[in-house]
């Protein structure tokens, strides 16, 4: 969410800079006023479009910043047959999961469904190999069931364990 505010601030600075340049340009008054009005309309339009994009899954083909991510955890998914595969992915180094969209593929949908069943049986999660890699090989296994994570080790007791002593002399 923070990056959206920074992007919007950059758009506002650029639009204001263009409006200032236009005002000082040797043009007719109606041309300068029109340019300032357009710059003023650009700012709320940019804000509305950035906010609208927040609720939409990003097509995986458009992800360039995380292109080299080796794997991700599938937090949630929804398959719409004939349309798309929607994924909610958690990646290492990010605090919150991200929403992505894969183009429809029967093979990928089968892989995802199989991995979800196996992960449910094992009590693990579903992983995805090379999520942003564009591969031409449709038979490549991209979704898999991760094994259940090992529980944390128990701490060693700081004291010696209690010893039972039989009471003497009782009958």
36-55: per-residue pLDDT in tens?
A: 888 888 888 888 887 777 77
Confidence category of residue 136, pLDDT binned at 50, 70, 90: low
Q: pLDDT digits over 59-74, tens only?
A: 888 888 788 888 999 9
Specify burial of residue 41 (Cβ count, 10 A radius: 0-12, 13-18, 19+): exposed
Confidence category of residue 126, pLDDT binned at 50, 70, 90: very high
* Phi–psi pair at 151, nearest 5 degrees: -65, 155
The pLDDT value recorded for residue 74 is: 94
The pLDDT value recorded for residue 1 is: 52
Task: Using alpha carbons only, give the angle 58, 128, 151 rounded to the nearest 5 degrees.
Answer: 120
Mean pLDDT of 24-45: 86
Alpha-carbon distance of 146 to 111, in angstroms, equals 13
Contact 107, 139 (CB under 8 A): yes
HSE on the CB side for 155, CA within 13 Å?
3
Confidence check: pLDDT of 128 > 60: yes
């Amino acid at each position: 969410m923070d990056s959206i505010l920074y992007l919007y601030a950059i758009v506002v600075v650029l639009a204001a800079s263009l409006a200032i340049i236009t005002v000082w340009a040797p043009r007719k008054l109606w041309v300068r006023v029109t340019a300032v009005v357009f710059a003023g309309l650009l700012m709320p339009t940019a804000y509305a479009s950035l906010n609208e994009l927040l609720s939409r899954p990003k097509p995986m083909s458009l992800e360039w910043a995380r292109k080299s991510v080796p794997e991700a955890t599938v937090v949630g998914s929804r398959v719409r047959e004939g349309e798309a595969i929607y994924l909610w992915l958690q990646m290492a180094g990010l605090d919150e999961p991200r929403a992505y969209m894969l183009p429809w593929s029967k093979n990928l949908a089968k892989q995802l469904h199989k991995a979800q069943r196996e992960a449910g049986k094992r009590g693990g999660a579903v992983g995805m190999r090379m999520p942003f890699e564009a591969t031409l090989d449709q038979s490549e296994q991209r979704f898999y069931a991760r094994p259940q994570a090992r529980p944390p080790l128990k701490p060693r007791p700081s004291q010696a364990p209690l010893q039972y002593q039989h009471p003497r002399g009782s009958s």
